[in-house]
Amino acid sequence: MPRITGGSLGSRKLRSPKGTQVRPTPGRVKESLFSILMNRVDGAAFLDLFAGTGAIGFEAASRGAARVVAVEGQRDVANAIEEAVKQLGIEKVVTVFPAPAERALYRLEGPFDIVYLDPPYADPVPLQLFRLMLERKLLAPEAIVVYEHAAKRILPQIPGYHSVREEVYGDVGLAFLTPES
């Protein structure tokens, strides 16, 4: 069962619906991620694409993000995130957007300071989503996009973005990218 690792909601447990295909980000990866993002989260607008249990977005809210949007395409999973938002009492900060990521990007209003993109590992690199974030001007000028992927995957150059950092934690890889100016 995933849990929030730090901030005002630290150590609270999160549930996900039974029988769904949700792959929570391991706790040590979350801790490392938020250690890297530490100076950026407080007051940030945070977009969590492929939110799953919502743990990454909840972690951002717990650590001071001003606005969190959790996008989840599976309706039962999105409903579970909405229930958790109410249980955690963070309705003023976290909004759940129950739609596939691509459709959500056409309807969301930016800009976002931080985007966490965690599609299923078996899917190809979501170049269309990266492109849409730029076209729809969903990224703040100093935004950072974190793409979680299988560590064994070799990422191509992503048009419109600079790679600024790569981290590997066991089977999990995190690519940190910024939009080209």
For residue range 132-180, list pLDDT tens digits in order: 999 999 999 999 999 999 999 999 999 999 999 999 999 999 999 999 9
Domain range annotation of the chain: 7-15+23-179
The reported pLDDT for the residue numbered 49 is 97
Rounded CA separation 71/47 (Å): 8
Helices (H), 55-161: 55-62, 75-88, 101-107, 127-135
In this structure, are residues 94 and 120 in contact, taking their beta carbons and an 8 Å threshold? no
Average pLDDT, the chain: 90
Rounded CA separation 125/151 (Å): 13
Is the pLDDT at 2 greater than 70, yes or no? Answer: no
For residue range 14-35, list pLDDT tens digits in order: 665 555 566 667 778 888 999 9
CATH number of 7-15+23-179: 3.40.50.150
Look up the pTM and report it: 0.91
